[in-house]
Structure 1
């Protein structure tokens, strides 16, 4: 029986989760550490941190009435200090939606009207 398990979230991921949760009270918050995909980049060559690149999805009513750019800017402002620190957050990929937009995005792929209709059988 193997004793290996996937490591839990690191301190930077935990900080992102707490800061975003405390500020926006999201109904959905998904944080994916994609740092391993970027280890070979020149900018990452001398960085020992394993928490530099994140994909973050935030679904919050707090985003109502805001443009996608306003939403993203608010998250960047929230994490400004962490993004300025050397060896810390290098890149954030953000998806920001209201609960209504998120629900619509989940339903849309299933009701895609661009699909070709099946040919009728003779």
Structure 2
């Protein structure tokens, strides 16, 4: 399974989002630091979920990173827009 699909699956299972967009931005960073050549190193995530809405900004980020687990080690950059 691709990292993008794993991101989508884990975030969907954990947060049941009302809106979820995962964008692979790795092509914008080809040849830069953190580019491992897989084409799956840089992602942007927009997520909206009732489960996250009541949390503080820091708690939201922690919850997302916890849900992603080992994927955090396989991704070089993750931009989050959480609400």
Q: Normalised by the size of structure 1, how large is the TM-score?
A: 0.63
Cα deviation for residue 72 of structure 1 reads 1.0
Partner of 1:63: 52
- Pairwise CA RMSD: 1.4
Q: 2:69 aligns with which of 58, 62, 80?
A: 80
Q: Which has the larger radius of gyration?
A: 1
SS of 1:51's equivalent in the other structure is coil
Instruction: Note closer, same or farther for the CA distance 1:40–1:48 as it changes in structure 2 (3 Å cut).
Output: closer
Partner of 1:14: 5
- Write 1 or 2 for the structure with the bigger share of strand: 2
Higher normalized contact order (CA 8 Å, seq sep 6+, divided by chain length): 2
Preserved contact between residue 34 and residue 76 of structure 2 (Cα < 8 Å): no
**Structure 2 unaligned blocks of 5 or more:** none
Q: Normalised by the size of structure 2, how large is the TM-score?
A: 0.90
Partner of 1:28: 19
Cα deviation for residue 19 of structure 1 reads 0.4
Count matched residues: 83
**Structure 1 unaligned blocks of 5 or more:** 1-9, 98-122
C-alpha distance in 1 between matches for 2:78 and 2:55:
19
